[in-house]
Homo-oligomer: A and B are copies of this chain.
């Protein structure tokens, strides 16, 4: 863990190093992923089965690529009732929040007599990637599938790797809660390629969303353009802004909740009180003694953790904007005042009783959020990821008479003769007297 203080003379250099350490991560899987995608495009399901055998140690006959309804039901039924209830609470809250996001169509007729519009429509088909192994989270299924469902997407195709053939009952139960029934037991770059280009077993989709490892991220990057993708997710991050009135243990647990995700995760505390910083640091060490995922969390905290002591909250807000954190907890009095100063953050958690984990599960807003400072330009997953816009212009002769001549002038200036003629031929028929 790095300890910084804005009063240090070398604060700027230390802080820059902290930022830089997070942005220098490069993947080196470009070529293998390119080969996998080409192979899937060429050999389809045969290639998909080969890679699944190699990477997941799972031999699939063609009719077993898709998980059967009976298997889904059997596995999902193993989840105990309390947990199903928790999944349902989460799903209901996520669905309600995302329904609030649904935008309105636009249509108006302006002074020139043109009727202008913008209409939102849902994508036809979406691919949902769910990681396998240690990161197979049912909450991730809810967060990816429900916005698509709320947006009105008719077909949601889910891919989840099942190493050694082991199905994850929680993931399948979460899919059932979302009404997702089309599920394939494949993963990695091969699953992304199959979703993008289609195989015999898997019809192609229009957009692929969901987190994954470096191979999955690189595959999404490579199929981008042929299909849509969501943001490329990096390691998770939290910035906690807290004053000395907080319980240091709560702050420590919030930092560790990020750190336990991944050794590359980053947890940063900003406080205005050096003694409080010490207390939090001590509480982190104390909790690490008993935490189940202590090894991962300790590594993350040691390598990427930081405590920054600031003079005041304006300074804290400026630092928050430079970090553009995925998650921002504001544990201050009147947290809304601080939040108003933050321009770049994926999601904010306001109040001393609002840990980030609320948002991971049951808050309502999405937990798929921009990482690695991409909150500067990117947003969390939402219904907007599953909608697209079609604009429209409608006009008769009167509107064309008003706006057409300026269009002719611009088309001619750009040297586009047919553009100009397509306007001027009609204007001529309407009796245009060109100067």
- Chain A residues in the interface with B (C-beta under 8 A): 23, 82-83, 85-87, 89-90, 93, 96-97, 100-101, 103, 106, 108, 110, 112, 114-116, 118, 121, 123-124, 134, 137-139, 170, 206-207, 221, 224-228, 231-232, 247, 249-250, 253-254, 256-257, 259-261, 287, 291-293, 297, 335-336, 339, 342-366, 370, 374-380, 382, 384, 388-397, 399-400, 403-407, 409-411, 413-423, 425-426, 429-430
Contacts and interface: CB of A to CB of B under 8 A. Distances in A.
A388 B375 contact: yes
A403 B366 contact: no
* Those 5 A-B pairs whose CB atoms lie nearest each other, nearest first: A365-B391, A228-B377, A350-B394, A86-B409, A256-B418
A411 to B, nearest CB: 6
The winner among A108, A291, A374, A416 for most chain B CB atoms within 10 A is A416
Given A410-B361, A414-B139, A354 B394 contact: yes
Given A83-B409, A90-B406, A419 B360 contact: yes
Contacts of A421: 253, 256-257, 287, 291
15 contacts: A86-B409, A93-B110, A116-B363, A124-B343, A124-B376, A250-B425, A254-B422, A256-B421, A259-B418, A339-B392, A350-B392, A351-B394, A351-B395, A353-B426, A358-B395
A369 B218 CA distance: 26
The winner among A342, A374, A390, A423 for most chain B CB atoms within 10 A is A390
Contacts of A124: 343-344, 376
Contacts of A297: 418
A420 B354 CA distance: 13
Given A110-B96, A260-B419, A360 B411 contact: yes
B293 A417 contact: yes
A420 B23 CA distance: 29
B362 A403 contact: yes
Given A353-B400, A392-B365, A106 B96 contact: no
A247 to B, nearest CB: 7
Contacts of A97: 116
A392 B353 contact: no
A362 to B, nearest CB: 4
Nearest to A367: B391
A97 B115 CA distance: 11
Contacts of A339: 392
A423 B355 contact: yes
A162 B404 CA distance: 30
Contacts of A226: 23
Nearest to A137: B414
Contact of A354 (B96, B228, B354, B393): B393
Contacts of A420: 357
Contacts of A103: 103
A138 B414 contact: yes
A391 B366 contact: yes
Given A346-B390, A407-B357, A116 B365 contact: yes
Contact of A392 (B348, B357, B399): B348
A82 B382 CA distance: 45
A77 to B, nearest CB: 15
A85 B347 CA distance: 44
A420 B227 CA distance: 37
A380 B417 CA distance: 24
Nearest to A258: B418
A137 to B, nearest CB: 5
Contacts of A404: 358, 362
B349 A392 contact: yes
The winner among A116, A227, A247, A259 for most chain B CB atoms within 10 A is A116
Contact of A389 (B232, B379, B406, B418): B379
Nearest to A173: B413
Given A342-B390, A354-B400, A379-B388, 12 more contacts: A86-B405, A103-B103, A170-B413, A221-B221, A221-B224, A225-B231, A250-B426, A336-B394, A351-B396, A353-B430, A363-B393, A375-B390
